[in-house]
């Protein structure tokens, strides 16, 4: 006889059921009477929540994660190829699977609990043991939004999507590098950035360590942060070679052609370019990327956008700064690297203009002495490390990183 368990109450203490197998799981989509779902007890979990970390609990049919044919978390037998590997893998597929996700704030209060969709997120970091997940609210699952303020410092209380990120190329080191670098410039420079909230992650009830909740840079981000029409935006991505994510690249190509075929030392030509792109935001973007020493840029990891309006200007988005702060040591001069590479035409052409050059130099000097003043930077690093330090022993016990022993973590930071 099947047992019925009331899942609507509070006070669960969860444990790991090593005998569980996905063949016996069922997925129930709304509408459904949650209190009367047929279920075995949950199969993993947490005893409490430490201040500083939220908790995310995505759960789905085990087959959707681990099965060779349809599982999104494995190499499997039904994979796609990627520039990141010579061999195909399921986790390189752009598959979406239904999940139920619960979110608890750092005080342990339930933020939301709903059916959603998830996909593996990222590029080469998909190969990591703990993968990033993009989470989507969609009408076909029930709610079209996550009606919750995920980030305390942004006045946004409704999200259509977000990311649970593994810290990218930093996924075995500090676990906070990209979040820290973007935190450095928020509220200091006018530049589009992703908010950051560390979380304790449970995957189908199994403890999955420290990950980061981040804004997803898509048309919904632009609507939430800039109030633009998400159905009428151009979003491009890439580097020297770029591709279209949303809209078209027509306007951008025309702007590049104008810049390359006209003298940027002429104030009239420069003034026209300033009507096509947000020059001040671009300068702030350059300052940030150069200061953090992101060596995986500018020939890759670039995203930029504009609203499809008559006065819409291009703006640049900070993301994937994981190579910064010597994650991959670089002994060269970042300013020289960025300003002399013939493949970075836009930057080099604009630097021939005196107004642009003076703004760039003077603003950079100003932020070196304020925003990037060493005591301020170290203070932010220490405060973000303190948010996750209490969880490091559990992370290390499970995954043996970011350090072989918890005591090594502060020295690594």
Mean pLDDT value across residues 83-97: 96
Nearest residue to 101 (alpha-carbon basis) of 28, 209, 206, 204: 204
Q: Determine the Cα–Cα distance for residues 68 and 74; give it in Å rounded to an integer.
A: 7
Which is it for the CA torsion 210, 215, 217, 218, positive or negative?
positive
Same-domain pairing of 170 and 236: no
Does residue 46 register a pLDDT over 60? no
pLDDT in tens, 357-386: 999 999 999 999 999 999 999 999 999 999
Does residue 9 register a pLDDT over 60? no
pLDDT of residue 47: 38
Does residue 59 register a pLDDT over 90? no
Task: Judge whether 409 lies within some domain.
Answer: no
Task: Judge whether 350 lies within some domain.
Answer: yes
Does residue 180 register a pLDDT over 90? yes
DSSP 69: T
Poorest-confidence range of 24-28, 208-212, 241-245?
24-28
**Long-range contacts formed by 154-161: CB under 8 A, 24+ apart:** 154/195, 154/225, 156/224, 156/225, 158/224, 159/215, 159/220, 159/224, 160/136, 160/220, 161/134, 161/135, 161/136, 161/137, 161/216, 161/218, 161/220
Give residue 330's pLDDT band: very low, low, confident or very high (50, 70, 90). confident
Same-domain pairing of 312 and 253: yes
pLDDT of residue 176: 96
How many C-beta atoms lie closer than 10 Å to residue 214's C-beta? 25
Poorest-confidence range of 51-65, 77-91, 101-115, 172-186?
51-65
Sheet containing 302-307: give its strands across: 242-246, 233-238, 302-307, 315-317
**Contact assessment for residue 228 and residue 296, using Cβ atoms and an 8 Å cutoff:** no
Give residue 160's pLDDT band: very low, low, confident or very high (50, 70, 90). very high
DSSP 12: -
Mean pLDDT value across residues 273-288: 98
Does residue 402 register a pLDDT over 60? yes
pLDDT of residue 400: 85
Angle of CA points 147, 148, 150, to nearest 5°: 140
Same-domain pairing of 103 and 201: yes
Residue 192 to residues 10, 185, 297: CA-CA distances in angstroms? 39, 10, 16
Does residue 329 register a pLDDT over 90? no
Same-domain pairing of 204 and 304: no
pLDDT of residue 31: 56
As a whole-number percent, the residues of the chain with pLDDT over 70 amount to: 85
Same-domain pairing of 279 and 362: yes
Q: Give the count of domains, the chain.
A: 2
pLDDT of residue 57: 80
pLDDT of residue 343: 65
Poorest-confidence range of 78-87, 215-224, 235-244, 299-308?
235-244
**Contact assessment for residue 221 and residue 162, using Cβ atoms and an 8 Å cutoff:** no
Does residue 341 register a pLDDT over 50? yes
Q: Where are the beta strands (DSSP E) in 83-171?
A: 85-89, 97-104, 110-121, 132-136, 161-165
Query: Mean pLDDT in the chain?
Result: 88
pLDDT of residue 411: 66
Does residue 17 register a pLDDT over 60? no
pLDDT of residue 338: 87
Poorest-confidence range of 22-36, 235-249, 279-293?
22-36
Residue 411 to residues 179, 262, 357, 399: CA-CA distances in angstroms? 19, 52, 39, 19
Give residue 404's pLDDT band: very low, low, confident or very high (50, 70, 90). low
Q: Determine the Cα–Cα distance for residues 217 and 49; give it in Å rounded to an integer.
A: 28
Q: In 3-state terms, what secondary structure has residue 58?
A: strand
Does residue 145 register a pLDDT over 90? yes
Same-domain pairing of 251 and 333: yes
Q: Report residue 27 as tokens.
A: 């997925």
Bridge-based pairing state of the strands 206-214 and 196-203: antiparallel
Does residue 35 register a pLDDT over 70? no
Bridge-based pairing state of the strands 132-136 and 80-82: unpaired
Does residue 348 register a pLDDT over 50? yes
Same-domain pairing of 184 and 256: no
Give residue 95's pLDDT band: very low, low, confident or very high (50, 70, 90). very high
Task: Judge whether 310 lies within some domain.
Answer: yes
**Contact assessment for residue 183 and residue 321, using Cβ atoms and an 8 Å cutoff:** no
Does residue 252 register a pLDDT over 80? yes
Nearest residue to 305 (alpha-carbon basis) of 325, 336, 282: 282
Same-domain pairing of 207 and 236: no
Task: Judge whether 51 lies within some domain.
Answer: yes
Task: Judge whether 110 lies within some domain.
Answer: yes
Give residue 2's pLDDT band: very low, low, confident or very high (50, 70, 90). very low
- Chain centre to alpha carbon of residue 251: 27
* Sequence-ordered alpha helix ranges (H) in 25-106: 63-66
Q: Output the DSSP codes for 330-358.
A: --S-HHHHHHH-TT-HHHHHHTTSHHHHH
Same-domain pairing of 65 and 98: yes
Does residue 152 register a pLDDT over 80? yes
Task: Judge whether 406 lies within some domain.
Answer: no
pLDDT of residue 8: 46
Q: Determine the Cα–Cα distance for residues 350 and 265; give it in Å rounded to an integer.
A: 8
Same-domain pairing of 171 and 261: no
Same-domain pairing of 243 and 198: no
Nearest residue to 91 (alpha-carbon basis) of 70, 117, 115, 62: 70
pLDDT of residue 43: 36
Q: Report residue 204 as tokens.
A: 């189908």
Same-domain pairing of 148 and 294: no
Give me the residue label for tokens 């925003």.
371
Mean pLDDT value across residues 303-329: 95
Structural domain harbouring 190 = 22-33+40-216
């Amino acid at each position: 006889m099947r047992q019925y368990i009331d899942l609507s109450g509070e006070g669960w203490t969860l444990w790991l059921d090593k005998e569980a197998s996905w063949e016996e799981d069922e997925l129930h989509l709304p509408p459904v009477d949650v209190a009367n779902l047929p279920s075995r007890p949950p199969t993993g979990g947490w005893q409490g929540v430490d201040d500083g970390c939220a908790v995310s609990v995505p759960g789905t049919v085990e087959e959707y994660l681990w099965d060779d044919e349809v599982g999104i978390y494995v190499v499997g037998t039904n994979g796609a190829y990627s520039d990141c590997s010579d061999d195909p893998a399921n986790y390189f597929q752009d598959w979406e699977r239904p999940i139920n996700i619960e979110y608890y704030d750092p005080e342990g209060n339930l933020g939301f609990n709903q059916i959603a969709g998830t996909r593996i997120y990222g590029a080469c970091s998909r190969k990591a043991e703990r993968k990033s997940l993009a989470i989507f609210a969609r009408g076909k699952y029930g709610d079209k939004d996550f009606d919750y303020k995920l980030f305390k410092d942004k006045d946004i209380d409704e999200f259509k999507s977000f990311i649970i990120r593994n810290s990218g190329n930093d996924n075995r080191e500090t676990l906070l590098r990209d979040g820290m670098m973007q935190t450095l410039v928020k509220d200091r420079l006018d530049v589009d950035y992703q908010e950051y909230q560390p979380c304790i992650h449970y995957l189908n009830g199994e403890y999955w360590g420290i990950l980061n909740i981040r804004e997803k840079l898509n048309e919904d981000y632009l609507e939430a942060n800039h109030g633009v029409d998400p159905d009428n935006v151009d979003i491009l991505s890439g580097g020297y070679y770029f591709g279209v994510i949303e809209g078209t690249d027509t306007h951008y190509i025309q702007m590049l052609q104008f810049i390359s075929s006209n003298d940027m030392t002429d104030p009239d030509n420069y003034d026209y370019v300033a009507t096509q792109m947000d020059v001040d935001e671009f300068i702030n973007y350059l300052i940030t990327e150069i200061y953090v020493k992101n060596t995986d840029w500018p020939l890759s990891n670039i995203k930029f956008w504009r609203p499809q309006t008559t006065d819409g200007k291009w703006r640049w988005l900070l993301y994937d700064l994981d190579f910064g702060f010597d994650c991959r040591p670089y002994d060269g001069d970042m300013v020289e690297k960025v300003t002399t590479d013939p493949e970075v035409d836009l930057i080099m052409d604009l630097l021939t203009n005196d107004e642009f050059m003076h703004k760039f130099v003077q603003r950079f000097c100003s932020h070196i002495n304020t925003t990037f003043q060493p005591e301020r930077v170290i203070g932010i690093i220490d405060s973000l490390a303190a948010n996750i330090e209490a969880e490091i022993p559990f992370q290390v016990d499970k995954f043996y990183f970011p350090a072989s022993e918890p005591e090594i973590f502060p020295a690594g930071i």
